[in-house]
Amino acid sequence: MSELVGYVLKDLLLSQGFALLGETQQLQAILEDICPDEQKVIELVMLAFEEKIPERLLIPVSEAELPKTLTLLSQELSAQKQLAPHFSDWIVETWANALGKTNAYAISRNLLAEAEEMYRDKIRSVFYEWDSLSEEEQEKVQNLRQQLLLNEKDHARIWAEVREEQKQDILLNVSLIAPSSPPFQNGLGMKFIRIEPGKFLMGSPEYEHHREEDETQHSVTLSKPYWIQTTPVTQAQWEELMGFNPSDFKNPLHPVENVSWLEIVQRFLPALNARGEGFYRLPTEAEWEYASRAGNTKAYSDRNDASTLDSFAWYNNNSNYQTQPVALKTANPWGLYDMHGNVWEWCHDWHAPFSNQALENPRGPAQGKGRVMRGGSWFCNATSCRQAARGYLPPETRVRLTGFRLVRNCDD
């Protein structure tokens, strides 16, 4: 989420002027008010004042000299504050952009998640030999933790995560190879991948960062194959079938949103099934998560932190606070796009907390507070885009955050 603070900082300086640089307490208070969940990132931004980074960036330099100036400022900040270059580079780049010295950020970044993954990789490399390391070598690991601004609580959590990683067995009946059947495409241009039966761990392990109480991990077996849509249903596909477009963010290639669970089940699906191209329905929550995980047990598509989430998902770090065209981000190993972010996706099930009971072909409880949504959206933070993250709303609800993808029953 680090880029959000940078964007807000730039907007504040554009709207209120550089005089705000002399009111550091006011600037920090405004940033904290607008970005209440980004305290750590805001502290990094404000750290620049201690080394007069904004003031020094306002000194005129030629375009050719600017990269050298930015590098020098970053090196000085890193040395003075004992920061990892990962952080000092970002601080200087963020201020250079906010002050109009550079045009744009090179890429969207999850700064703190990147730091955690650096430390996690280091812990993985020494995990089995920690007790045999010299005091000097152990101290280097501790120094890295401090440079990455991780506290003792972060340290304990990351060690626990790595410990569980080492213990977790690779599950049988789950293939990491993309399904071998050729994709199916219907008359509306919806593409589907065939998902084979298998067994997986649904929900989140107790060590997963930001997990919720309703995500209790449990074994699930899916005994029947099914076809799942490679993207959320687009506005063009909805409009061709229904004759209107309910979406707030109008674009034929964007996912349709502002549609209720009831509208999908009572109007859209009957109309689609009447075309005679097979039987379509919403995925069960288990079918959705099984397809999303594609054989892995990580919190996100490829790892336990959000450091690479920008390559898979449209969310509040990169979405410009609206939906985006489907299938622009990287697909998961089974060829499915937008399983993280863009729009929450309605599932068949009523919501209820998971138990640890092993299940076969679960379809959820008989009733609940709302119908389940999965995947997170353009408005959500990274936490809500985890593979185990669950949302729910009353089935009659229409919001711009929520769309859906379809499942088609297999003929065999």
- Per-residue pLDDT reduced to its tens digit, 354-388: 999 999 999 999 999 999 999 999 999 999 999 99
For the cut 90, the answer to whether the pLDDT of residue 272 exceeds it is yes
DSSP state of 183: P
Helix (H, G, I), strand (E, B) or coil at 281: strand
Share of the chain above pLDDT 70, in %: 94
For the cut 80, the answer to whether the pLDDT of residue 162 exceeds it is yes
Rounded to an integer, the average pLDDT of 54-67 is 92
Rounded to an integer, the average pLDDT of 28-44 is 88
Where residue 313 falls among pLDDT bands split at 50, 70, 90? very high
Nearest to 374 by CA among 396, 408, 401: 401
Rounded to an integer, the average pLDDT of 30-50 is 89
| Contact residues for 363 (Cβ-Cβ < 8 A; gap 6+) | 284, 348, 349
Least confidently predicted of 110-124, 167-181, 259-273, 287-301: 167-181
Where residue 115 falls among pLDDT bands split at 50, 70, 90? confident
Q: Which two tokens stand for residue 332?
A: 């998961």
pLDDT in tens, 240-252: 999 999 999 999 9
Rounded to an integer, the average pLDDT of 82-97 is 89
Burial class (CB in 10 A: 0-12, 13-18, 19+), 99: middle
For the cut 60, the answer to whether the pLDDT of residue 106 exceeds it is no
pLDDT of residue 108: 55
For the cut 80, the answer to whether the pLDDT of residue 236 exceeds it is yes
Cα(70)–Cα(175) distance, rounded to whole angstroms? 47
Name the residue with tokens 């981000």. Answer: 329
Least confidently predicted of 108-112, 116-120, 272-276: 108-112
The CATH number of domain 184-409 is 3.90.1580.10: yes
For the cut 80, the answer to whether the pLDDT of residue 144 exceeds it is yes
State the average pLDDT for the chain.
90
For the cut 50, the answer to whether the pLDDT of residue 169 exceeds it is no
Ordered by start, the domain boundaries in the chain are 2-98, 111-167, 184-409
pTM of the model: 0.71
Please count the other Cβ atoms lying within 10 Å of the Cβ belonging to residue 157: 16
Least confidently predicted of 6-10, 191-195, 214-218: 6-10
For the cut 60, the answer to whether the pLDDT of residue 177 exceeds it is no
